[in-house]
Amino acid sequence: MIEKMLFGRTGHMSSRVIFGAAALGEVTQKEADETYDLLKKYDINHIDVAESYGDAEIRIGPWMKRDRDSFFLATKTDQRTKKGAMKDLYQSLDRLKTDHIDLWQFHYLIDEQEWEIAMGEGGALEAAIEAKKQGLIKYIGVTGHGITAPNMHYRSLMRYDFDSVLFPYNYSMMQNHQYSEDANRLMNLCNERNVAIQTIKSLSKGPVGEDVNPFATWYKPLTDPTAISKSVNWVLKNPNVFLNSTGDITILPTLLEKASEPLVAPSDEEMKALGASQGIEPLFT
């Protein structure tokens, strides 16, 4: 089974692999329900979705209708105003067939202007605080992609005491000195405040570029079982982070299998060799 640990200050014992439900954006309900069975097999009890992930919330709705208490449910809004964010929240509640969201997150909040709107008067933060008072959500988080995500999340935590953050974290990204410095500074602050740390892109092989990508990810994913094992173990060797799973249901079974095995932390030499053999390059530069 996959280890569980406290998700920050929430009191919830979440599986260290969180189901990244972007993988359900373009699948049938039958395919989604097969994924549900897989999650139950590995006792995955935390789902991360977003209003903007195609039909993903719709696919999860039937799960919540019959099995809401089994999951810590997180979703996101990419709206920056209070009005727009509240509209997203009500739509998410309807799609997900639930009366509350455990964790509501500001999606991809790294743009300077968007940040000012979301955090300012009439912004998404006001919506989240109001929704929390109404019992529609329990906790509030912030997410981001890109090279500036850790620095912007640090700034967000200086403005408001968020309950979670989410950002890219893998070996190749952490070889960027500035990114590594910013990510470590952010993680240190999160550990001090008991803020949950979610990580994404564990299986990123690099940008798609002009290649045809047969997978549902917007990056080239690792598919070799050994490469997946080493990459997953590299993330999970950090005892303070959660790993949000890859955005393709065909790769998910291997990821969960490898994450359920005893952790064997790969060395830097092994990760360098893996990068060379697989042609891994940073997704963001």
Ordered DSSP codes for 182-231 = HHHHHHHHHHHHT-EEEEE-TTEEEE-TTS---SSSSEEEP--HHHHHHH
Task: Give pLDDT, residue 95.
Answer: 98
Q: How many Cα atoms within 13 Å fall on the side-chain side of residue 67?
A: 15
Tell me the C-alpha distance between 223 and 202, whole Å.
Answer: 12
Are the C-beta atoms of 81 and 49 separated by less than 8 Å?
no
Which tens digits make up the pLDDT trace of 262-283? Answer: 999 999 999 999 999 999 999 9
Q: Enter the tokens of residue 238.
A: 């950090």
Task: Give pLDDT, residue 211.
Answer: 80
Instruction: State the pLDDT confidence band at 58, using cuts at 50, 70 and 90.
Output: very high
Q: What are the respective helix, strand and coil percentages of the chain, to the nearest 5?
A: 45, 20, 35
Residue in the block written with tokens 């309950």: 163
Helix or strand holding residue 241 (H, E): strand 241-244
Tell me the C-alpha distance between 136 and 113, whole Å.
Answer: 27
Tell me the C-alpha distance between 281 and 285, whole Å.
Answer: 10
Amino acid 208 reads: V
How many residues can be counted in the chain?
285
Task: Give pLDDT, residue 1.
Answer: 81
Amino acid 226 reads: T
Tell me the C-alpha distance between 168 and 202, whole Å.
Answer: 8
Instruction: State the pLDDT confidence band at 210, using cuts at 50, 70 and 90.
Output: confident
Distances (CA, A) of 210 to 135, 213, 219, 220, 277: 46, 9, 11, 11, 21
Task: Calculate mean pLDDT across residues 166-182.
Answer: 98
Task: Calculate mean pLDDT across residues 238-244.
Answer: 98
Q: How do 204-207 and 219-221 pair as beta strands?
A: antiparallel
Nearest to 74 by CA among 56, 54, 87: 56
- In the CATH scheme, what is the homologous superfamily, with its name and number, of domain 4-278? NADP-dependent oxidoreductase domain (3.20.20.100)
CB atoms within 10 A of CB 159: 13
Are the C-beta atoms of 44 and 15 separated by less than 8 Å?
yes
Tell me the C-alpha distance between 154 and 213, whole Å.
Answer: 33
Which tens digits make up the pLDDT trace of 90-99? Answer: 999 999 999 9
Nearest to 222 by CA among 233, 206, 210, 238: 206
According to DSSP, residue 176 is labeled: S
Tell me the C-alpha distance between 101 and 91, whole Å.
Answer: 12
Are the C-beta atoms of 102 and 131 separated by less than 8 Å?
no
Task: Give pLDDT, residue 209.
Answer: 83
Instruction: State the pLDDT confidence band at 244, using cuts at 50, 70 and 90.
Output: very high
Task: Give pLDDT, residue 175.
Answer: 97
Tell me the C-alpha distance between 89 and 67, whole Å.
Answer: 20
Which tens digits make up the pLDDT trace of 1-29? Answer: 899 999 999 999 999 999 999 999 999 99
